[in-house]
């Protein structure tokens, strides 16, 4: 038995001015046999595919694995480059292939395509036809067009945000593919879109109501005839026709049951639409920082400030406020500024530096911030992720510098990354517990570690690129009636 494997993922912020081009994808891409070497044993969807298939003695045919980030609209040439590669390579072995496993995202938008994923699968179908199964993993934050299920045999979403189950999602897809090929099951699917979109900060599956929706999904998975279920919370900052949540069910030759499961999950989401889109206890930057400083005085563990609206990794709203309010022993890890890193490198460890950092895009970023401090560390920020999310994956922050500016420890990096675990401290000789206040720009992924490591999480809704308040954006492609979007 021979199974084809490919991955291409991007979470597109269509409001972000400009485009994401091929060099940003190729920097992190793997091709051919490299895919297996890079992903075997990692907590990623492709790592899960490899795990199940190798244990079953299945031969793998890997084409590419391209884990793009969350940035501006993708250039058409990026789509053309990777989709041509997939079609060309799969065509070479089309007769030998029994099926295909794809690791996609669900919120990739190109210059020409609002729903890149459906098109990717449709193009691969041109090569291998509609008889052979194609199973697809997608991110919990995908905006699915129901047409995707005309092209894919079934789709499988991460069921956790933090995405600590990427490997398991790959295993679910691969197990279902093998069961389909052996004739053990005949997958039937249903998708229901409840008509709402959830700002990612409210999609944390460790917090209600997202937690309750996943609990209901788990109950359905135990129901006889149900093979798999997913709830996609959508990606709010993509102005696309298919914006919003989707509930998907996969059953064994039972379309009515699939409809029932998907309808029930979509209904539960709709009933919770207010809490899923507004949340509670969102602070302004000023209030949030004030509260963090006050609470840090009595806390036994660090107070976590969640600056969820930052997508560029270099917005300065929170850092500016920490310095203005004289915060002590605070940490701002993973702050993107390649130029500032170079200045620190030239100055050397122990030197004083005057820097203008952040605010590089000029788009809802708070503008550059002047800081003066002392260089504590310079070098290459490259390490193997300790997990749980992305466990085993190589993380490359690029050239990195750490400075202390008044009471704030600032880690300047070259390639965007969010604080999701303790690695950005421990790999550089520090611990999270060294600090009284820690700023993270992760949305939900940090919770896998910081719900335990932190004393309390204070969510600030800074006026960054992806705030919880969606009314500041002018949506043009989203059809009327998707809660809470208001058409202007
Ligand atoms: Zn996601």
| Residue 417: burial class (beta carbons within 10 Å; 0-12, 13-18, 19+) | buried
CA 423 – CA 430 distance, rounded (Å): 9
Centroid of ligand 1 to alpha carbon of 70 (angstroms):
9
Contact between 250 and 258 under an 8 Å Cβ cutoff? The reply is yes
Please tell me the predicted confidence (pLDDT) of residue 84: 98
Q: How many CB atoms sit inside 10 A of residue 124's CB? A: 23
What is the 234 CA–ligand 1 centroid distance (Å)?
9
pLDDT of residue 272: 97
Question: Taking 80 as the threshold, does the pLDDT of residue 367 lie above it?
Answer: yes
Instruction: Classify strands 30-31 and 59-67 as parallel, antiparallel or unpaired.
Output: antiparallel
Q: How far is the CA of 162 from the centre of ligand 1 (A)?
A: 8
Range list of H helices, 297-446: 317-324, 338-347, 423-426
Tens of pLDDT, residues 100-118: 999 999 999 999 999 999 9
**486 falls in which pLDDT band (50, 70, 90)?**
confident
- Count Cβ neighbours within 10 Å for each residue of 347-381 and write b for 16 or more, e otherwise: beeeeebebbbbbbbebbbbebbebebebbbbeeb
Summarize pLDDT for 151-188 with one digit per residue, the tens. Answer: 999 999 999 999 999 999 999 999 999 999 999 999 99
pLDDT at 278 over 90: no
Q: Domains in the chain, ordered, with CATH?
A: 2-277 (3.40.50.2300), 282-470 (no CATH)
Name the strand (E) or helix (H) holding 289: helix 285-296
Å from CA of 161 to ligand 1 middle: 7
Ramachandran angles phi, psi of 79, nearest 5°: -55, -50
pLDDT beyond 90 at 294: yes
160 CA distance to ligand 1 middle (Å): 9
**258 CA to centre of ligand 1 in angstroms:** 24
Q: How much is the pLDDT for 281?
A: 82
- Calculate how far, in angstroms, residue 443's C-alpha sits from the geometric centre of ligand 1: 9
Q: Read off the pLDDT of residues 382-425 as tens digits, 9 standing for 90 and up.
A: 999 999 999 999 999 999 999 999 999 999 999 999 999 999 99
Task: Report how far ligand 1's centroid is from the alpha carbon of 200 (Å).
Answer: 8
For residue 208, the CA-to-ligand 1 centroid distance in Å is 17
User: Which pLDDT value is given to residue 432?
Assistant: 98
Going by their DSSP bridges, the two strands 246-252 and 187-192 should be labelled as antiparallel
Say whether pLDDT at 488 is over 90.
no
Find the 10 Cα to ligand 1 centroid distance in Å.
10
Distance 140 CA to ligand 1 centre (A): 5
416-439 mean pLDDT: 97
Q: Which two tokens stand for residue 309?
A: 């609206």
Mean pLDDT of 202-215: 96
Q: What's the rounded mean pLDDT across residues 317-328? A: 98
Q: How far is CA 476 from the centre of its chain?
A: 24
d(CA 375, CA 347): 8
Percent of the chain residues topping a pLDDT of 70:
100
Å from CA of 279 to ligand 1 middle: 18
313 CA → ligand 1 middle, Å: 16
Question: In this predicted structure, what is the pLDDT of residue 475?
Answer: 96
CA separation for the pair 470, 475 (Å, rounded): 9
- Local structure of 86: helix, strand or coil: helix
Q: How far is the CA of 232 from the centre of ligand 1 (A)?
A: 9
Distance 163 CA to ligand 1 centre (A): 7
Q: Report the sign of the C-alpha dihedral through residues 201, 299, 448, 381, in that order.
A: positive
Q: Is the pLDDT of residue 440 over 90?
A: yes
Query: What is the phi/psi pair of residue 244, to 5°?
Result: 125, 180
Confidence of residue 280 (pLDDT cuts 50, 70, 90): confident
Q: Kindly give the distance from the C-alpha atom of residue 478 to the centroid of ligand 1, in angstroms, as a whole number.
A: 20
Predicted TM-score of the model (pTM) = 0.95
Query: Would you state the pLDDT for residue 487?
Result: 76
Residue 304 predicted with pLDDT over 80 = yes
């Amino acid at each position: 038995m021979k199974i084809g494997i490919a991955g291409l993922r991007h979470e597109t912020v269509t409001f972000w001015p400009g485009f994401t081009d091929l060099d940003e994808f190729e920097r992190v891409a793997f091709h051919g046999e490299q895919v297996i070497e890079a992903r075997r044993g990692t907590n990623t969807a492709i790592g899960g595919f490899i795990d199940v298939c190798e244990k079953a003695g299945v031969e793998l045919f890997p084409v590419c694995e391209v884990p793009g980030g969350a940035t501006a609209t993708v250039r058409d040439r990026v789509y053309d480059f990777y989709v041509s590669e997939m079609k060309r390579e799969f065509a070479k072995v089309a007769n030998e292939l029994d099926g295909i496993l794809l690791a996609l995202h669900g919120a990739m938008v190109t210059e020409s395509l609002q729903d890149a994923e459906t098109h990717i699968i449709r193009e691969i179908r041109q090569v291998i036809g509609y008889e052979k199964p194609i199973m697809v993993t997608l991110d919990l934050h995908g905006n699915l067009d129901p047409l995707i299920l005309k092209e894919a045999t079934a789709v499988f979403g991460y069921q956790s945000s933090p995405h600590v189950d990427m490997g398991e999602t790959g295993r679910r897809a691969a197990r279902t593919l093998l069961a389909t090929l052996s004739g053990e099951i005949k997958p039937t699917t249903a998708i229901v879109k409840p008509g709402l979109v959830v700002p990612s900060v409210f999609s944390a599956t460790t917090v209600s109501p997202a937690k309750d929706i996943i609990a209901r999904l788990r109950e359905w998975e135990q129901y006889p005839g149900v093979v798999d279920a997913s709830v996609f919370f959508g990606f709010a900052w993509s102005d696309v026709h298919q914006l919003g949540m989707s509930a998907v069910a996969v059953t064994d030759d039972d379309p009515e049951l699939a409809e029932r499961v998907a309808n029930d999950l979509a209904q539960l989401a709709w009933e919770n639409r207010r809490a899923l889109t507004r949340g509670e206890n969102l602070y302004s930057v000023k209030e949030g920082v004030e509260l963090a400083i006050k609470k840090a005085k009595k806390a036994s563990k660090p107070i976590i400030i969640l600056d969820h609206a930052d997508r560029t990794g270099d917005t300065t709203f929170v850092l500016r406020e920490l310095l203005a309010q004289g915060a002590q022993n605070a940490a701002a890890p993973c702050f993107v500024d390649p130029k500032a890193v170079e200045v620190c490198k030239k100055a050397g460890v122990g030197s004083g530096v005057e820097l203008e950092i952040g605010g590089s895009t000029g788009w809802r970023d708070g503008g550059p911030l002047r800081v003066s401090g002392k260089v504590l560390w310079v070098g290459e920020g490259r390490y193997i992720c300790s997990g749980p999310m992305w466990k085993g994956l190589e993380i490359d922050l690029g050239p990195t510098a750490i400075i202390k500016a008044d009471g704030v420890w600032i880690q300047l990096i070259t390639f965007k990354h969010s604080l999701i675990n303790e690695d950005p401290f421990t790999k550089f000789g520090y611990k999270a517990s060294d600090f009284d206040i820690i700023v993270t720009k992760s949305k939900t992924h940090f919770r896998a570690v910081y719900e335990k490591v932190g004393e309390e999480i204070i969510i600030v809704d800074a006026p960054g690129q992806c705030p919880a308040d969606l009314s500041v954006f002018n949506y043009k492609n989203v059809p009327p009636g998707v809660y809470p979007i208001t058409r202007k």
